[in-house]
Amino acid sequence: MTTTASPPVASGTGLPDVSQITSSDSALRRFLHGLPGVDQVGAEARAAMLSTRSIKTSAKAWAIDLAISMIDLTTLEGQDTPGKVRALCAKALRPDPSVADTPRVAAICVYPDMVPVAVEALRGSRVKVASVATAFPSGRSSLAVKLADTRDAVAAGADEIDMVIDRGAFLSGRYLEVFEEIVAVKEACGEAHLKVILETGELDTYDNVRRASWLGMLAGGDFIKTSTGKIAPAATLPVTLVMLEAVRDFRATTGRQVGVKPAGGIRTTKDAIKYLVLVNETVGDDWLDPDWFRLGASSLLNDLLMQRTKAVTGRYSGPDYFTLD
């Protein structure tokens, strides 16, 4: 177990004084570098241990349905077409058309120009429309362009925005610049929720993952997300463990709950269940909900559906039984 550093506290509240922490680059650096270091060996050993946990058959059926309901079903390719997005939305609404009680996914995640297509296809449903923005996946553009990108997606109907942080600025120690950019994008989101993508595969160390997690939360992010899915490694269990510890400690310190989204490389039911076990053992039931934990994936859903069919009927469906995404 880890604890957070003691941040400056606003008088009479017991809560961290964000304005003081972010009053200068040096103040923000002092706070972020004052967070406890991550025990790399310990984090990797705990993640590996939790990944070996087995669950009972009845619990597995529940976990499969929960994992389906947490998926951000994603297509982020240059060859995306309106037809492909409509087909993906149809699958989001009825993942297995032959089984009426199959849960719907949490959201569809698309590029901004495809948001109107997804909004129309999902109209009247509870499935959210998420859109990547801020010059995804590199983040290499001006702040004006990033804000315009965000506002365009929100104006088109996006419920959620997945933004990428400026990893160059973060790794150069320009923490206040990253903080202010997230704050500006959050403001541009209006009522839409903001997921802050850390791109952990480029952050090099678990200490940087913890610092970036706190930075994203201090700036107002509703979720912190591991990856764009375009950089290897993408989501890993140890990185997600560090992020889960960060949201746990952030809530204990501030009273505000923030969600977590591992994305990229999560392809099998076995993988998904490992992440659910990690959530349960690290932050508990409060995060075992699509409002607080998501799985960013494009190919995971089919494997979950095959395993769900096996649990119900006793036999596997072939991979060609379900539509390809």
pLDDT digits (tens, 9 = 90+) for 200-243: 999 999 999 999 999 999 999 999 999 999 999 999 999 999 99
Q: Which is the catalytic residue, given 72, 96, 159, 162?
A: 162
**Residue 202 pLDDT:** 97
Q: How many residues does the chain have?
A: 325
Q: Is the pLDDT of residue 247 over 60?
A: yes
Q: 47 φ, ψ to 5°? A: -60, -40
- Any idea what the CATH number is for the domain that residue 300 is in? 3.20.20.70
Is residue 196, in this structure, part of any structural domain at all?
A: yes
CA distances from 223 to 139, 257, 291 (A): 18, 9, 10
Is residue 318, in this structure, part of any structural domain at all?
A: no
**pTM of the predicted model, to two decimals?**
0.92
Q: 9 φ, ψ to 5°? A: -115, 135
Return the residue matching tokens 């998420």. 130
Torsion angle, CA of 217/220/225/231, rounded to 10 degrees? -100
- Name the domain count of the chain: 1
**Cα-only R_g, the chain:** 19
Parent domain of 174: 39-313
**Residue 58 pLDDT:** 80
**Residue 267 pLDDT:** 95
Q: Is the pLDDT of residue 1 over 50?
A: no
Q: Is the pLDDT of residue 145 over 60?
A: yes
Q: Is the pLDDT of residue 4 over 60?
A: no
**Which H helix or E strand runs over 89?**
helix 82-93
* E strand residue ranges, the chain: 71-74, 107-110, 128-133, 160-164, 193-197, 223-225, 259-261, 295-297
Is residue 262, in this structure, part of any structural domain at all?
A: yes
Is residue 76, in this structure, part of any structural domain at all?
A: yes
Q: Which two tokens stand for residue 293?
A: 């934990």
Do 226 and 240 form a contact (C-beta atoms < 8 A)?
Answer: yes
204 is catalytic: no
261 is catalytic: yes
Q: Which two tokens stand for residue 98?
A: 């032959």
39 is catalytic: no
CB atoms within 10 A of CB 191: 6
